[in-house]
Structure 1
Amino acid sequence: MIRVLVTNLKGGCGKTTIATNLAGAFARGGLATALADVDRQQSSLEWLKLRPAEAAAIQALDWRKSVSDESSGVQRLVIDAPANLRMKEVELLIAQADIVIVPVLPSIFDEGSTRRFVRRLDEIKPIRKGKKGVLLVANRLRSRNRATQRLEMFLGEIGMPAVARLADRALYAELATQGLTVFDPQAGRASLQGEQIRAEWRPLLRAIEDEA
């Protein structure tokens, strides 16, 4: 089993969107998938309630009060962490994960927060010793935007280039209201746009398999 934690102490960087779409990609690929929600707002759990019965199944795990054992047979576990956790809480979640994904937005505020967060992650023993990988995802990008260019420079400065670059698209929010992801055939949007979006995710999916 591969266990993926999606986390950043900064709120509003798209953690739940990335977590739900990752779970959708794994499930659509025929893997037994579970999605653990740690956020008191229950965003992932509420999203799963909207998921159509004909969509690829994703098991719901409620980790808001305590971490529970995954059901037997799960091949991919995605953990959706809330913002503003204490580092001790982050460490407990990292102990449950094989890979840590950190979304970051093209924003000066996200840069500072991410810089501090990555430094603190590097102090955690399994990450410092290379036993658990950390993957940065540049999220909600707009082409030829100064903020996007600045983000690329920032990631180069901290020596952690983004493994994937996801464009800012309204389709994610539209699909979320239906419990769907860009990987679900029920998405119902033009196939060309859907394929372009899925292509943006492939580097991240490959990196996850390579890190595991």
Structure 2
Amino acid sequence: MITILVANPKGGCGKTTVATHIAAAFANAGLRTALADADKQGSSLGWMKQRPSEAGPIQPLDWRDSWGKPPKAIDRLIIDSPAAMKMGKIDDLLRMADVVVVPVLPSGFDVAATGDFLKKLETLKPIRKSRTAVAVVRNRVQLGTRSAGRLDSFMIGVGHKGVGRLRHRTIYTEIAAQGLSIFDLSGKQYEDLRDDWAPLLRYIENSDPGINAFAGSR
């Protein structure tokens, strides 16, 4: 099993969108997938309640009050972490995680807050001892803009793996209300957006070479 923690204490960074899309990608690849919602807002749980029965199955886990034990017979566990969580509690979740995915938006406030968060992460034992990988994902990027360039510069000096750029598209918000992701839908626009996610999914899968559902991804 690979456990993926999606975390950033900066609100509004797209954490839940990233968590639900990673879960949907694995579910549609035929992997037994669970999504644990540890955020008091319960957005991931709400998304799963709206999810159509014919979509790739994702096991919902309510971790809003306390962390549970990872379920048995699961290939992929994704944890949507609480916003503004204290580092001590993040340390508890890190002990479960193989990969931490940190979404960051192309704004000055988000870049600064994420930089501080990454520095704090580096003080925690699972990261310091290289037992847990960190993947920083550029989210809601508008290519060719100054903000995108500023974010690219931030990634150069961040000291962690920068994995992919997710373009800003309103379709993410539109389909979220239906419990869907771009991995659940067919059509060229969804195929193009899935390419944005391929580097991140490959990075996650490479932490478990024995099970690589995305080995053929571009």
Superposed pair shares fold, TM > 0.5: yes
Q: How does 1:135-150 map to 2 (within 5 A)?
A: 135-150=135-150
Q: Which moved more, 1:1-10 or 1:154-163?
A: 154-163
Counterpart of 1:3 in structure 2: which amino acid?
T
Residue 206 (1) aligns with residue 202 (2)? yes
Alpha-carbon distance in 1 for matches of 2:164, 2:146:
18
Counterpart of 2:204 in structure 1: which amino acid?
I
Alpha-carbon distance in 2 for matches of 1:60, 1:163:
26
State the Cα distance separating 1:67 from its structure 2 match.
Answer: 1.1
State the Cα distance separating 1:161 from its structure 2 match.
Answer: 4.9
SS in 1 for 2:183: coil
Q: 1:196 aligns to what?
A: 192
Q: How does 1:112-127 map to 2 (within 5 A)?
A: 112-127=112-127
Q: Which moved more, 1:50-59 or 1:69-78?
A: 69-78
Q: How does 1:177-196 map to 2 (within 5 A)?
A: 177-184=177-184, 187=185, 191-196=187-192
- Normalization by structure 1: what TM-score? 0.95
Alpha-carbon distance in 1 for matches of 2:161, 2:155:
5
Note the alpha carbon deviations across 1:126-148, whole angstroms, 9 max, x for none: 21111110000000000111000
Report the RMSD for the aligned CA atoms in angstroms. 1.0
Q: 2:65 aligns to what?
A: 65
SS in 2 for 1:211: coil
On the 8 A contact 2:5/2:93 being kept in 1, the answer is: yes
State the Cα distance separating 1:70 from its structure 2 match.
Answer: 2.8
On the 8 A contact 2:134/2:161 being kept in 1, the answer is: no
Q: Matched residues, percent identical?
A: 49
Alpha-carbon distance in 2 for matches of 1:195, 1:177:
20
On the 8 A contact 2:2/2:207 being kept in 1, the answer is: no
Residue 21 (1) aligns with residue 21 (2)? yes
Alpha-carbon distance in 2 for matches of 1:37, 1:91:
17
Alpha-carbon distance in 2 for matches of 1:71, 1:138:
30
Per residue, is there more helix in 1 or in 2?
Answer: 1
- Normalization by structure 2: what TM-score? 0.93
Q: 1:39 aligns to what?
A: 39
On the 8 A contact 1:152/1:161 being kept in 2, the answer is: no
State the Cα distance separating 1:100 from its structure 2 match.
Answer: 0.4
Note the alpha carbon deviations across 1:100-150, whole angstroms, 9 max, x for none: 000000010011111111111111112111111000000000011100001
Q: How does 1:25-104 map to 2 (within 5 A)?
A: 25-104=25-104
On the 8 A contact 1:107/1:147 being kept in 2, the answer is: yes
Note the alpha carbon deviations across 1:27-63, whole angstroms, 9 max, x for none: 0000000000001111000110000011111000000
Alpha-carbon distance in 1 for matches of 2:91, 2:49:
29
On the 8 A contact 1:39/1:80 being kept in 2, the answer is: yes
Note the alpha carbon deviations across 1:162-202, whole angstroms, 9 max, x for none: 21100001111111011001100xx36xx211111000000
Q: 1:159 aligns to what?
A: 159
On the 8 A contact 1:140/1:168 being kept in 2, the answer is: yes
On the 8 A contact 2:134/2:160 being kept in 1, the answer is: no
Counterpart of 1:162 in structure 2: which amino acid?
G
On the 8 A contact 2:37/2:64 being kept in 1, the answer is: yes
State the Cα distance separating 1:66 from its structure 2 match.
Answer: 1.1
Aligned length: 208
